[in-house]
Structure 1
Amino acid sequence: MELFYYLVFGGLGAVVAALELSKNNKDRIATSQAFTSFKNNYLFVYSLMMAGDWLQGPYVYYLYTTYGYGKGDIGQLFIAGFGSSMLFGTIVGSLADKQGRKRACVTYCITYILSCITKHSPQYRILMVGRVLGGIATSLLFSAFESWLVAEHNKRGFDQQWLSLTFSKAIFLGNGLVAILSGLFGNLLVDTLNLGPVSPFDAAACFLAIGMAVIMSSWTENFGDPSDNKDLLTQFKGAAVAIASDEKIALLGAIQSLFEGSMYTFVFLWTPALSPNNEDIPHGFIFATFMLASMLGSSFASRLMARSSPKVESYMQIVFVVSSASLLLPIITNFLVAPSKVKGGGISFAGCLQLLGFCTFEACVGIFWPSIMKMRSQYIPEEARSTIMNFFRIPLNIFVCIVLYNVDAFPITVMFGMCSIFLFVASILQRRLCAIADKPKTEDWMAMKERDTEEEPLTEP
């Protein structure tokens, strides 16, 4: 392995360690013992949930190829996953507000475990069922757990600022350290122990089962709007009205969709970008480097959110601009550096420059996650938190499905340029959100609720 990869990984690791060790009182939030216990319980569960997810990621495509499926069939399986998340996942995730967030988290575990079990079958239809189940689970992962945390945090009377600490630690651990360890553990199972490409999915199911046991034994239930007289269509209508009536919620949804759409597109593009001539690159080590960069971003975000200034709405404008610029590097290097025509070999000079830019983008991802969580906790009404959060994922999943379907139709530079434009638009929308953030929250949501209550017909018992 080339020295360059070790230098990048070691440099990022040193910066992360320096940031964590150099934190002073201004960078830390004074909390209570009760909150610390609550936070640690959530972080333990969240880390297990993310381990169940990260263990699968690097081996899904590889497993399908070992079963003899080509790029077209595999593409359809991936589209089914994102489509399922958009259609079925939105419905199931939205039920968390009415049926209970703890119950939704347990449903996530069961659904994802079943998805892992389907990977033992080489039959296409069973694998398709697994992708559908995985899509539903993904929607629950990115809505039910955060909704439960925010509601339980408020119910226990903890300081609102303490949420920032939980969010940043969750990303630092779940999307950073756990991702790196999961990649190494999966590599141990598949390559070192020769247990086969399905072994990471079995390990993921075990972690999910442990997490489900902890949830069932230590979490209490909480709800959004548990009214018996509100069906799912009414919940969707209420969520749509809330988004339409509050510009801050609408802006937040647009910003999230633009950033996450670019992020998921990047996941498909970084490999061909770094190895356009089939260069021999260490995919697992590069993935671990990206996750280390994400840890750097989340560590930096924890410092920012521990202080009263600058506000999240303010510094995120800069983050989006930097992320937009970082994804322009493949286009810039394509013009400034003559492309190599030699097949194979090690990573090129242009690839080295792009890798540094991609690490910058991943650091922005590490800042984005806890920051967007904090903004969602401030602006999204508790009554329909899960429903609205799943609404945000609809345009995201549509966008990713379109990209997957047309991934071979456009040059890679065009795809990166599109992502860069989306991120720049996100910075403009973030600027608007910053401008109106201090305005009083709209009363339209409560007014809409009161109007619905008044208009509901009386029914016989």
Structure 2
Amino acid sequence: MAVIMSSWTENYGDSSESKDLLTQFKGAATAIASDEKIALLGAIQSLFEGSMYTFVFLWTPALSPNDEDIPHGFIFATFMLASMLGSSIASRLMAHSSPSVESYMQIVFLISSASLTLPIITSILVPPSNVKGGGISFAVCLQVLGFCAFEGCVGIFWPSIMKMRSQYIPEEARSTIMNFFRIPLNIFVCVVLYNVNAFPIAIMFGMCSIFLFVACLLQRRLLVIAEKPKAEERFRNSEEEPLNA
């Protein structure tokens, strides 16, 4: 630190490119309004991240509603392993041109939505226990499997969403545009966490599941828009082939 402070000069960047915060957000709003793909991508990321951040605070009370003695460290490590496996799967998927990122992410959002419905299903099918303490029940084991599936989807999500962002969002405004969508995201997460004790766990997970299903629908719309130019190009090529022949 002493060497850096004494020998390095400050890098102020290109002064001609510096813009105030209001100008940056105006440019981000204009880009979002003019390109549906950017709006869809931002909405998808906000819905998924909102569900993910809510899950971070809900998984512990969901697995131990009656203060059961559960191995929190082991479960968290399993979640991280599932996320790592998801990232490995994403790297293999993105190494091939087919299926496209827009295509397989529909399935990822659908699986993540289904995985967060397990606390709702188990609360309906398995009668709740009023006995404090105890060990891990069968219903909790099912929830852990579902949560691991969700963490695997999280591992696939991050590299995949970054690739789509690099494709559809211009680099010079990428960070501002994504921060534009994080404003309502952070407000939502704060409101949820402030009222986390006001609603049953099943309702909270149901809300997250709905958000992920909406993200799946938006991803489908993004796929249709992304495939439209390719379909038109194939159609033009098919018309030109008889003429060339």
TM-score, reference length from structure 2: 0.86
Hey, what does 2:111 align to over in structure 1? Answer: 322
Aligned counterparts of 1:336 and 1:427: Cα–Cα separation in 2 = 27
Alpha-carbon deviations, 1:343-382, whole Å to 9, x = none? 1111111101100000000000000000000001111111
**Structure 2: runs of 5+ lacking an equivalent:** 230-245
Shift of 1:388: 1.0
Aligned counterparts of 1:232 and 1:263: Cα–Cα separation in 2 = 28
The 4+ residue runs of structure 1 with deviation greater than 3 A are none
Hey, what does 2:173 align to over in structure 1? Answer: 384
Alpha-carbon deviations, 1:306-337, whole Å to 9, x = none? 00000000000000000000000000011111
Match of 2:131 among 334, 338, 342: 342
1:291 and 2:80 are equivalent in the alignment: yes
Alignment of 1:20-31 (within 5 A): none
Match of 1:282 among 49, 71, 88: 71
Aligned counterparts of 1:436 and 1:228: Cα–Cα separation in 2 = 32
SS at match of 2:77: helix
Shift of 1:395: 1.6
Alpha-carbon deviations, 1:181-222, whole Å to 9, x = none? xxxxxxxxxxxxxxxxxxxxxxxxxxxx9xxx9xxx9xxx89
Aligned counterparts of 2:204 and 2:187: Cα–Cα separation in 1 = 16
Shift of 1:299: 0.7
Count residues in correspondence.
Answer: 222
Shift of 1:229: 6.5
Hey, what does 1:264 align to over in structure 2? Answer: 53
Q: 1:343 to 1:250 in 2, by over 3 A?
A: same
Shift of 1:265: 0.3
**Structure 1: runs of 5+ lacking an equivalent:** 1-208, 441-461
Hey, what does 1:359 align to over in structure 2? Answer: 148
TM-score, reference length from structure 1: 0.46
Aligned counterparts of 2:21 and 2:70: Cα–Cα separation in 1 = 48
Question: Taking every aligned residue pair, what percent have the same amino acid on both sides?
Answer: 85
Q: 1:376 to 1:226 in 2, by over 3 A?
A: farther
1:426 and 2:215 are equivalent in the alignment: yes
Shift of 1:230: 3.3
Aligned counterparts of 1:229 and 1:373: Cα–Cα separation in 2 = 25
Over aligned residue pairs, what C-alpha RMSD do you find?
Answer: 1.9
Shift of 1:226: 5.6
Q: 1:353 to 1:222 in 2, by over 3 A?
A: farther
Q: 1:377 to 1:338 in 2, by over 3 A?
A: same
Shift of 1:227: 2.8
Aligned counterparts of 2:228 and 2:172: Cα–Cα separation in 1 = 21
Shift of 1:439: 4.9
